[in-house]
Structure 1
Amino acid sequence: MNWDCFEQYFRHKFRAILGKNRVIFPGEKVLLAVSGGPSSSTMLRQVEEGLSQNAHKKLRFTPGIVYIDEGGALDQSLEERQQTVAIMEDILKATGFPFYIVPLEKVLDLPSSVIVMSPSSNQQPSSDKASVDYFICSNTGSSLTLEQKHEASLPYVPESQTQLLQQLIDCSRTLTAKEDILSILRHHLLVHTARCEGYKKLMFGDNCTRLAVKLLSSISLGRGAHLAQDTSFSDSRYGDIVSLRPMRDYSSKEIAYYCHIFSVPSVVTPNLQTKNKEKASIQRLTESFVNKLQVDFPSTVSTIYRTSEKLQTTWKSTSANSWDRCLLCMCSLDTAVENASAFQATRISERLSQSKSVDANSDLFPRQNTELGSPCAHCCSKSTEEQDKTVEDKGCCSCTRVPDTTDMSGLLCYSCQLTIKDMSSVEYLPQYILSEAQVKQRRSHMKEEISDCLLDV
């Protein structure tokens, strides 16, 4: 077999999908999300060859590489994590591109602007909170020289941060929810890294087989309204950071052959599905189903993949408004439906099936026991001096305006609501998510209080 022909075919397919979509402009900074697996490593090799001096049609963007160390979420020892990072560091250094090795624990310290849609232009975010976070990120990113970034290895991570991350993963009762939460946190960290380092595009190594599995599993998880964003070539749900999937035309078999023939270095790292049974999670079961069906029917993956290409979303945002977006996945909220819909019927059945004690203490559906302006046992029963201090701090009966619990029900899409329901408590979520949820919750209560004074436009 002529391997040169296969190499040219492989290279041409990569260049063709970039040229056909034309979303990367000359001189633009593109961050490659490399996990060490065959697909992302092959993507890195294609970028290397496209930027080489001997390339027929050179790529004109400026690449960077980011690697997320997820050993803390997988309960790996420090020695195992350092060994994996050392291997990845050698691979990334050989490319000559600037690279960033970020532990997943850093997601616990992210600013709340990560889940706020930023303007798609080159200007800085307009809101004060986002502007401050942007300034902090810019200073942090510019403090390291190129040589220092090449020398960077796994940063020091406190043991307490690792324990908090493990508690966040372990609080999910099912492996399906654990994988979903881990994917969301990973994406938030990648977007934050891209913003801090000045990258406008984020390139992933999702191949055709993986996207076919993702499409079917997303339907099972209730993400039917967001399939176009989850499987398309480009995804601009974050506004200023556009996610790209240039490997979506390659099957996993093609990538495996390419890695074997041309000795593409890759690192095999465990994940949540490692050593688990076939029916351990929806994602694992869907992957097994697609792979087994592909053996007897070779057109299975391509048929599912071509179906995903025809999907389109009817929701488009013309402004950087994040109030109508899911707090976790940043997709549009699909819960604003009619009262006679199946979704509302499901919610009513769930509420009725819960006992009064559970409903009163629920994290998802907190119940207000006091009316606005009525005496509150929390502050009005105190002494005069304590009441004066309460008024200075938060205002008398402020607990009737802002609930003590974090209400997540109206801030999440249907799929993320199912994920949160599998968690023992939402308080294990990172602080930036809880803070943004409280901000949106206060805004919603404020809007309800002044609804009689608002004009309908």
Structure 2
Amino acid sequence: MILAMRVPRMPCCLVHRPPVLCSVLAAVLCFLSYARHKFRAALGAAKALPRSAEVLLLVDGSGASLVLLDMLHFAQTQNTFKRLHCNARVLYIDACGNDSLSSLHKLHERYAPFEFYVIQLNAEPKSLQSLKEYSASIVNATQQELRSLTARQDYGLQQRKRLIGAVAAHLQCSHVFESSISSTLATQLLTSVALGRGGSVALDVALLDDRLQDDIKLLRPLKDLNEQEVQFYVHAQQLQPFTSENELDQSSAASLQNLTSAFVANLQINYASTVSTIFRTGDKIAAKQQTNVDPTTTCTLCHSVLDHQLSDTLLAIEYSRAVSEMGVALQQHDNMEALEQRARQRLTAAQDLCHACRNIQAELTSGNIP
């Protein structure tokens, strides 16, 4: 018995074209299908996005954020069976004035079904405006009062997350899409450890981060894409990334964040598999948790679980600082109990902040973290 084999039909766009061009177009279509499958698989495997969820998508002008926007738009224009059933809005956080507004308007024209919103980095959520009505205003930046660039960037990141959560709550969105890719998350993992955020580093690189206020979930559906795949996708879809970062902060190497980013970028060039290994390590890290965690046991700035009762290492750090402050006089009188008591007082002085956020507060020239 002879079975007839069904031969798949060639897409219409490849019919009657030169063989070389057909092979190139087929390769592009295969790559786009492969990249979009990673996006859908990341959400589907974890079942992290419920049906008809309200989603706030973050666009910062980077190639990865435009890729995420294009993928979500494609997923919502499919037929009923393949369509990603969610309602999406787009948010752009303006950190450097009106330089990127023209690019944003072009994006809005290309992805017209989505509503675009703009807000300044240090503004209140109630100042959120639609892209068509947006006009920048002068906002006082608290982060300028920080002494070091490391603390300024760390505080800016936490402020950005807090603003995103507040805007999502204002727009009644239950989920937020962030465009972090594998190399970005590898940098974030190493940076978090260096800054003393090891207790919450698992959430910093996970697909699902539930630390935003009002039970809003932060999702990273591009976590399995690398930089090369992002560049291929940008070229295939003719996207036009635009920068939105502070040029001074990014050009300077005088911060842990920038040095770590340069280190990971160098690894990506010379030892690409090492970056993947670093990123995958984050999935295997689990923070030491307290039972019955409630809001009073979380940091008021980053919303991570407070770590001063979970780590003997932090007590040792504060003990060393107490020795440096109080000098050797106490040691000469064998008053070691006073040193330990001083260390515990320092450790619990700001009970509403985690270790890394206390370091930010120590960098403030005046006042406390708002």
Give the alignment's TM-score, normalised by structure 2.
0.80
- 1:171, 1:310 → 2: CA distance? 37
Q: Which residue of 1 aligns with 2:108?
A: 92
Q: Which residue of 1 aligns with 2:205?
A: 231
- CA offset at residue 27 of structure 1? 1.1
- 2:94, 2:349 → 1: CA distance? 29
- 2:64, 2:299 → 1: CA distance? 29
- 2:290, 2:80 → 1: CA distance? 38
Deviations 1:274-311 (A, max 9, x none): 56343x11111111111212222220111111111112
Contact 1:30 1:61 in 2 (8 A): yes
- 1:262, 1:290 → 2: CA distance? 27
- 2:43, 2:147 → 1: CA distance? 41
Residue ranges of structure 1 left out of the alignment (5+ in a row): 72-80, 111-136, 142-147, 357-406, 434-457
Q: Which amino acid aligns with 1:191?
A: G
- CA offset at residue 85 of structure 1? 2.1
Q: Which amino acid aligns with 2:117?
A: Y
- 1:421, 1:266 → 2: CA distance? 37
1:7 to 17, 32, 44: 32
Q: Which residue of 2 aligns with 1:332?
A: 305
SS across alignment from 2:156: helix
1:83 to 99, 111, 126: 99
Q: 2:152 aligned with 1:178, yes or no?
A: yes
Is the alpha carbon distance of 1:97 and 1:262 closer, same or farther for their aligned partners in structure 2, counting shifts above 3 Å? same
Deviations 1:286-340 (A, max 9, x none): 1111121222222011111111111223427767x311001110000011147xx
2:44 to 11, 16, 19: 19
- CA offset at residue 58 of structure 1? 0.7
Identical aligned residues as a percent: 28
- CA offset at residue 416 of structure 1? 1.2
SS across alignment from 1:260: helix
Residue ranges of structure 2 left out of the alignment (5+ in a row): 1-23, 328-347
Q: Which amino acid aligns with 1:426?
A: G
Q: 2:175 aligned with 1:201, yes or no?
A: yes
2:220 to 220, 237, 245: 245
Q: Which residue of 2 aligns with 1:269?
A: 244
Q: Which amino acid aligns with 1:330?
A: H
Q: Which amino acid aligns with 1:180?
A: D
- 1:266, 1:17 → 2: CA distance? 24
Q: 2:284 aligned with 1:310, yes or no?
A: yes
Q: Which amino acid aligns with 1:410?
A: Q
Contact 1:39 1:206 in 2 (8 A): yes
Q: 2:132 aligned with 1:151, yes or no?
A: yes
Q: Which residue of 2 aligns with 1:350?
A: 321
2:358 to 413, 417, 421: 417
Q: Which amino acid aligns with 1:84?
A: S
Q: 2:203 aligned with 1:187, yes or no?
A: no
Q: Which amino acid aligns with 2:180?
A: D
Q: Which residue of 2 aligns with 1:37?
A: 62
Q: 2:240 aligned with 1:215, yes or no?
A: no
1:62 to 87, 98, 103: 87
Q: Give the alignment of 1:46-57 within 5 angstroms.
A: 46-53=71-78, 57=82
Q: Which amino acid aligns with 1:334?
A: D
SS across alignment from 2:361: helix
Contact 1:49 1:55 in 2 (8 A): no
- CA offset at residue 55 of structure 1? 7.9
- 1:272, 1:316 → 2: CA distance? 40
- CA offset at residue 54 of structure 1? 5.1
Aligned residues: 323
- 1:268, 1:82 → 2: CA distance? 12
- 1:206, 1:55 → 2: CA distance? 28
Q: Which amino acid aligns with 1:291?
A: A
Q: Which amino acid aligns with 1:253?
A: Q
- 1:271, 1:348 → 2: CA distance? 37
Contact 1:204 1:246 in 2 (8 A): yes
Is the alpha carbon distance of 1:277 and 1:67 closer, same or farther for their aligned partners in structure 2, counting shifts above 3 Å? closer
Is the alpha carbon distance of 1:5 and 1:53 closer, same or farther for their aligned partners in structure 2, counting shifts above 3 Å? closer
Give the alignment's TM-score, normalised by structure 1.
0.66
SS across alignment from 1:18: helix
Q: Which residue of 2 aligns with 1:105?
A: 122
- 2:56, 2:361 → 1: CA distance? 30
- 2:145, 2:182 → 1: CA distance? 32
SS across alignment from 1:243: strand
- CA offset at residue 349 of structure 1? 3.2
Deviations 1:363-401 (A, max 9, x none): xxxxxxxxxxxxxxxxxxxxxxxxxxxxxxxxxxxxxxx
- 2:240, 2:158 → 1: CA distance? 27
Q: Which amino acid aligns with 1:331?
A: S
- 1:313, 1:93 → 2: CA distance? 44
Q: RMSD across aligned C-alpha pairs, in angstroms? A: 2.5
Contact 1:273 1:284 in 2 (8 A): no
